[in-house]
Structure 1
Amino acid sequence: MKGPVLTIVVPCYNEEEVLPETSKQLSAVLTKLIDDYLISRESKILFVDDGSKDRTWALIEKEMAINPFVKGLKLARNAGHQNALLAGLETAATQSDCVVSIDADLQDDVKVIRTFVEKYRDGFDVVYGVRDKRETDTFFKRATALGFYRLMNKIGINLIPNHADFRLMSKRALNELFKYKETNLFLRGLIPLVGFPTTKVFYDRKERFAGESKYPLKKMLAFAFDGITSFSITPIRFVTFLGFLAVIISAMAGGYAIFQELAGHTESGWTSIMISIWFVGGLQLLAAGIIGEYIGKIYREVKRRPRYAIEVNAYSNMALGKQRLEVLTNTVGK
């Protein structure tokens, strides 16, 4: 029985320090799976260079020259992690039965890919890699991550706790995912909407093999807020609630002021006036900011700009041969 064609998609942004080791470990995983007749010999590793400024693409080209598993996709500019991942998924889905996505930093356990494939062969279309523990994280990161997942659950966004972008998806699940055309991409929220049979595989996350994290606190907060505003209008409803609360408090304060006036106990109220002004002003700024965030998302969506641009597509041998022919033709023409 011929096994399914598997492609491992690896988004890369300035990953020159870790890329050779990532290629080595993933190639070993594919070799073992092929030897055990779990996947097809046509399976591949697709590195997606997301506009890196270092030698990432040069190393991908080097790996392609010496490693038959490795293919490359070079984006014309930095499109962001989610868009780079989507570019890899859309490219890989054309010739694959299933696709695994994994970050290049080797924090996710590559050995778990075998379990992913076994679950896929058992009939699951989506297999989520879920962290069993968060011992490698700081207390602050653990606390904020837990708070984020609880908040998302409270406002009705169905996320898989402790799951990032380490997962397997079947071809039909990917084709369903590609029907979602929004520009504000948050794959962790979109994929649970796809449906089809799903399961989880738990694993221990490792320390980063080399290099620095591409998601510092500022980026993580922006990513979390983007996910919330892409899937829920709860923040706007919360602002509405605050507005009603401010009106009630103001009415109570007004009633108290009238009572004091009638009782003849009026005093200068500079402090209370200033507090009220700052309170109401803060609510107005908060409301304007949140509404502006949603308007900004609408602005980006209606323009329908491409989410990424591909400069070099060396995923298939046919595509690579075509590009080499074009280079040769241009050289001869000159």
Structure 2
Amino acid sequence: MEKTSAPSRGEKHERSLNFTTPAPDLVVSLNVPYVAAELVIAAFSTVGNLLVCLAVGINRKLRTVTNYFLVSLAVADICVGGLAIPCAIMTDVGIPRHNLYLCLLMLSVLIMLTQSSIFSLLAVAVERYLAIFLPFRYHTLMTPRNAVLVILVTWVLAFLIGLVPLMGWYKTPPESGYCFFIFVVDMTYMVYFNFFACVLAPLVVMFLIYAQIFATVKRQVRRIAAERAQGEAQTRRAASMRREIKTATSLFLVLFLFTVCWIPLHIINCFLLLCPRCAVPLPLLLTAIILSHANSAVNPFLYAYKMKAFRRSFKAIFLCCRVAVDQDDTVDNGGTTTHRS
């Protein structure tokens, strides 16, 4: 949500953005295509991730430590759809006006949720690392209770990181009083602290973890396949290694899509800080914002496509809803139950 609003159609510089201070009498207008795209993303994000949470809740086979962290990620995405995107739409027209702290709180919401998503992905990567490299200690370390504690810690840390602007790391608001991101939030915070320290560093760690997981598991699979004596234990171990590869691939794809969706917006922030005189085309900025928000809507589709247990649970949920609708169509006729054809 790191953005500013579109200047009014009467402004000469309406197609680009830089750090020039807006005029006090600036008039802004609602960008209808941007708002429409955001509302569609909000709907898909909220409904799809609620479906993920419901699937884990009703299917005991999905109640694994890995999926607890995925539920935490889904909760953050639900909040993006139900809370952060409405805040983004309001700040797109500079609302709230002349209320700095409420403005900073609204602008900090997506920072908090993004950071929670990153920490959830990091927890998943570490959990997979322990499952493969410390299999005998895994069940002692990664208990459901410990997973819940890790989730609570990640949310508290994300909350504190997101609230840093409210603690004083912000810029003097412009005379116009409009709540625009780049005129209120300090880009040194967004680039050096938020991006480099809190986003890029965890992403690098996660990519290294998955690289080591893939290299190790594939090496073990090749070694097992090369052994001539293929007993029952060896066959089971090979099958287990292949399942680990499949699971790691699906989870890595979640991480990869997150990176692809969010990095463009952070790169634009770097340009705004390091080259304040460089004009950023407004359509490019809005596209980067929409792409970052769209990440919250893609994970449920990814789970349905790549993970058989989630796909079956989603299908069961839809079938139950269909059965409930069919039952509502049942007509009670004088004590005799008939069905509409």
Q: With the length of structure 1 as denominator, give the TM-score of the two structures.
A: 0.30
- Looking at both structures, which has the greater relative contact order when contacts are Cα pairs under 8 Å and sequence separation is at least 6? 2
Between Structure 1 and Structure 2, which shows a larger proportion of strand residues?
A: 1
Between Structure 1 and Structure 2, which shows a larger proportion of helix residues?
A: 2
Q: With the length of structure 2 as denominator, give the TM-score of the two structures.
A: 0.29
